[in-house]
Amino acid sequence: MSKKPFVTKEQLEEIIKEYPTPFHIYDEKGIRENARKLNQAFAWNKGFKEYFAVKATPNPEILKIFKEEGCGLDCSSLTELMMSDRCGFKGEEIMFSSNDTPANEFQYARKINATINLDDITHIDFLKEVADIPETISCRYNPGGTFSLGTTIMDNPGDSKYGLTRAQMTEAFLKLKELGVKEFGMHSFLASNTVNNEYYPTLAKILFKVAVELKEETGVHIKFINLSGGVGIPYTPDQKPNDISIIGEGVRKAYEEVLVPAGMGDVAIYTELGRFMLGPYGHLVSTAIHEKHTYKEYIGLDSSAVDLLRPAMYGAYHHITVMGKENKPCDHLYDVTGSLCENNDKFAIDRKLPKIDKGDIIVIHDTGAHGFAMGYNYNGKLKSAEILLQEDGTVRKIRRAETPEDYFATLDI
């Protein structure tokens, strides 16, 4: 089985004439269509809003596309807050979900009136000390233990550093109520990159039940429930993608079953998706520059883990297409590598691919989220350009490639 790139070999050959590889390229048409499908899937909820996770792809031109599609932004740091503000997102369009948060980040979040999502009960006093307590605030809930769908363990929230315990949620809401909070939010994240239509509805039902309990225990008004991220993408070609319309309908049923009978039919549903919103709509485009024949067969690319860290960090699978050879037999076994002085700098290990020749254009799929964003400068390697394939088929550079001068800019030499 294979995946089809959203760009052709002929298009890439023209792009490479102006923008040498490696680079990340994004599909504007796919991004917009996917955002509209999400909004349609949750249109039943009057207050629904998607807060795109900036950390997934922190590029202003991408963020502006989401703004045009009615989305807000989820931020986790000062610079992400600053970028969101400069891109024209204001107030309730920005969710600040951070942890181990420095004082100046809370202060800036309050300055731009972002909605703060507290990660720990001790942060209530800290926020009060360094800034002030807003009238609308959210708390992140961690139920502990393991999270399962049927007989499959999906993740282990109890080992996660994020969120408040169930008892702390009650205590926090009561304390915040005393401090003048008028509107409350809840947030939770139980599993990463699920390719299962039951994840969001199951998470929603858990949160909805806790929300009803919290309302009864504390008397507060819960304005929104944020289902966070976790809706994933099929990295391997044999996986079936999530159906966001089925997911939205599953959440609706849980909403009608749990919240509406409790008199909470005005609660807004928020999401904070990154990977689902952008992952499939980005490719890392590289050129094969070396082949090596030792104990194994290696193909060396002009990109490295600097450009895509996930395979090195997690052993993550990213599908590879050799452009122009899509219909050739995959009868060669390769390790596809970068040039870092680290043996884990491999995009693929023992991957069956068509015969690759020096100069072949290589597309690495599903890099739209947590691709460029996780890059770094180890070995003095420089980060690549980012290119937008626009809806009309033209391309536009939305981030230039780094230069040695950028690398030296923070040094006094």
CB 81 within 8 A of CB 96: yes
DSSP assignments along 275-309, one per residue = HHHHGGGEEEEEEEEEEEESSSEEEEES--TTT--
Distance CA 146, CA 365 (A): 31
Give the chain's largest Cα–Cα span: 70
What is the number of other CB atoms lying within 10 angstroms of the CB of residue 318? 22
Distance CA 322, CA 329 (A): 11
Catalytic residue among 75, 87, 330, 341: 341
Among 363, 376, 314, 336, which Cα is nearest to 2's? 363
Question: 409: part of which helix (H) or strand (E)?
Answer: none
Helices (H), 148-269: 166-178, 199-218, 244-254
| Active-site residue flag, 71 | no
Token reading at 89? 């997102």
Catalytic residues: 341
